[in-house]
């Protein structure tokens, strides 16, 4: 593998974004702005681009946290991203080179959640992944709903479950007004406070609400955040809100909040439909709807599945 070169020199945001452009799927955790926001705290970021001769073939953004100065944990989440078709041998070489960059004997721990889906591997290959790298799986695969925004809007509408289409029509008949903005919309802070409260009440943890606006500021042309809000007559505040984060040619559904009055008129159904249509207009190719778990949160899973798409599952997290 003498022709493969590892460039750890920190790329500019433009260079990094240029590499992301055109990839069918990119994860939020591999976006330059995401790393910039995270590194504003106690973490640091290392970015890698792998070249074969003069061609970029892979890229990875790694978040590193130090614990009491005793050891470091390096997180490679949903990466590397493959920029070319590579043989299993070349991918293995890249993973092994990453491991050598964070040697355990120097109290450096590398944890990898590879951007590899169970649908894309042969039977038995998942077990071989850990064995070949002398790594063990510590977390089972994460399932998410991926929606292809490439088809015409009419086809996206036809792909919705019929019950979901009826709810969206009901919201429109109830004169629900939808307003679209970005991270600087007057009601973005309102939505982030709702999300903070929602996280506490439902006992889950996501990207800290305060970092969302910072992500928007870090993106070129301030185009990293899409917000949508639903209003009904005689209400001074939104009855529902949703927020999407854009990365490369992809986006992630990050926040959805629906109040009692919003649920009554199916406001969130309408917001997500209008939101994905707006993302399509902005050139987004795929929308990651986030986790789908029919055992832990069946209602949320059914709601997301109502928008069509394909459930995909990562092969897991390895140490």
| 95 and 158 assigned to the same domain | no
> Domain check: are 86 and 163 in the same one?
no
pLDDT for residue 260: 93
Asked if residue 313 is part of any domain, the answer here is no
Q: Note the pLDDT of residue 126.
A: 57
Are 45 and 36 contacting, i.e. CB atoms less than 8 angstroms apart?
yes
Report d(CA 220, CA 14) in Å as an integer: 9
- Residue 218 lies inside a defined structural domain of this protein: yes
Q: Are residues 276 and 162 in the same domain?
A: yes
Are 136 and 231 spatial neighbours (Cβ–Cβ below 8 Å)?
no
Instruction: Note whether residue 122 is domain-resident.
Output: no
As a whole number of Å, the CA-based R_g of the chain is: 21
> What is the CA angle 270-161-305, rounded to 5?
85
Residue 303 lies in a domain: no
Query: CB-based contacts of 297: which residues, under 8 Å, 6+ apart?
Result: 291
- Find out whether 47 and 59 touch, Cβ atoms under 8 Å: yes
Note whether residue 243 is domain-resident: yes
Q: For residue 60, is it within any domain?
A: yes
If asked whether residues 183 and 278 sit together in one domain, one would say yes
pLDDT at position 206 = 72
Contact criterion met (CB below 8 Å) for 164 and 170: no
Residues 189 and 73 in one domain: no
- Domain boundaries, position 72: 4-115
The answer, yes or no, to whether the previous bond of 60 is cis (omega within 30 of 0) is no
Q: Within this chain, do residues 14 and 79 fall inside the same structural domain, yes or no?
A: yes
Same domain, 97 and 157: no
Last residue of a domain, one of 115, 139, 165: 115
Question: Residues 29, 67: contact at Cβ < 8 Å?
Answer: no
Q: Are 240 and 262 in contact (CB under 8 A)?
A: yes
Q: Are residues 200 and 111 in the same domain?
A: no
- Global pTM reads 0.92
Residues 177 and 265 in one domain: yes
Instruction: Identify whether residues 171 and 101 lie together within a single domain.
Output: no
How high is the pLDDT of residue 254? 94
Same domain, 157 and 280: yes
In a domain, 293, yes or no: no
Q: What is the DSSP letter of 185?
A: S
What is the phi-psi region of residue 78: left when phi exceeds 0, alpha when psi lies from -120 to 50, beta otherwise?
left
Report the CATH number that the domain containing residue 71 is assigned in CATH. 3.40.630.30
- Both 171 and 273 in one domain: the answer is yes
Q: Along the 319 residues of the chain, how does pLDDT read in single tens digits? A: 778 999 998 889 999 999 998 898 899 999 999 999 998 778 899 999 999 998 999 999 999 999 998 999 999 999 999 999 998 889 999 999 999 999 999 999 999 999 887 755 544 555 567 777 778 888 988 889 999 999 999 999 999 999 999 999 999 998 899 999 999 999 999 999 998 888 888 777 777 777 888 999 999 887 899 999 999 987 789 999 999 999 999 999 999 999 999 999 999 999 999 999 999 999 999 999 988 877 777 888 899 999 999 998 888 999 9
Structurally, how many domains does the chain consist of? 2
Closest CA to 116 of 149, 88, 74, 75: 88
User: How distant, in Å, are the alpha carbons of 73, 174, 305 from that of 164?
Assistant: 43, 15, 10
H-state helical runs in 10-151: 13-20, 32-38, 88-101, 125-132
In a domain, 85, yes or no: yes
pLDDT at 9: 84
């Amino acid at each position: 593998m003498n022709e493969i070169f590892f460039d750890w020199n920190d790329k500019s945001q433009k260079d990094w974004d240029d590499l992301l452009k055109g990839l069918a799927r990119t994860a939020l955790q591999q976006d330059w702005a995401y790393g910039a926001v995270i590194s504003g705290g106690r973490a640091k970021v290392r970015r890698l681009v792998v070249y074969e001769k003069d061609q970029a073939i892979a890229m990875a953004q790694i978040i590193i946290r130090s614990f009491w100065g005793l050891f470091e944990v390096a997180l490679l989440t949903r990466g590397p991203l493959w920029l070319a078709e590579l043989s299993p041998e070349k991918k293995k070489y890249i993973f092994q080179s990453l491991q050598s960059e964070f040697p355990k004997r120097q109290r450096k721990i590398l944890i990898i959640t590879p951007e590899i889906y169970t649908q894309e591997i042969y039977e038995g290959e998942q077990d071989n992944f850990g064995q070949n790298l002398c790594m063990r799986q510590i977390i089972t695969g994460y399932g998410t709903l991926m929606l292809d925004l490439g088809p015409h809007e009419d086809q996206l509408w036809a792909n919705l479950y019929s019950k979901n289409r009826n709810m969206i029509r009901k919201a429109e008949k109830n004169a629900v007004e939808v307003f679209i903005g970005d991270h600087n919309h007057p009601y973005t802070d309102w939505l982030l406070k709702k999300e903070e409260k929602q996280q506490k009440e439902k006992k889950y943890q996501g990207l800290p609400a305060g970092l969302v606006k910072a992500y928007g500021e870090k993106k070129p042309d301030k185009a990293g955040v899409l917000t949508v809000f639903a209003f009904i007559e005689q209400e001074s505040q939104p009855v529902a809100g949703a927020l999407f984060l854009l990365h490369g040619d992809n986006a992630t559904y990050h926040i959805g909040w629906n109040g009692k009055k919003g649920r009554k008129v199916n406001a969130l159904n309408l917001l997500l439909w209008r939101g994905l249509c707006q993302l399509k207009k902005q050139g987004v190719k795929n929308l990651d709807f986030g986790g789908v778990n029919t055992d832990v949160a069946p209602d949320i899973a059914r709601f997301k599945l109502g928008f069509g798409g394909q459930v995909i599952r990562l092969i897991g997290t390895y140490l």
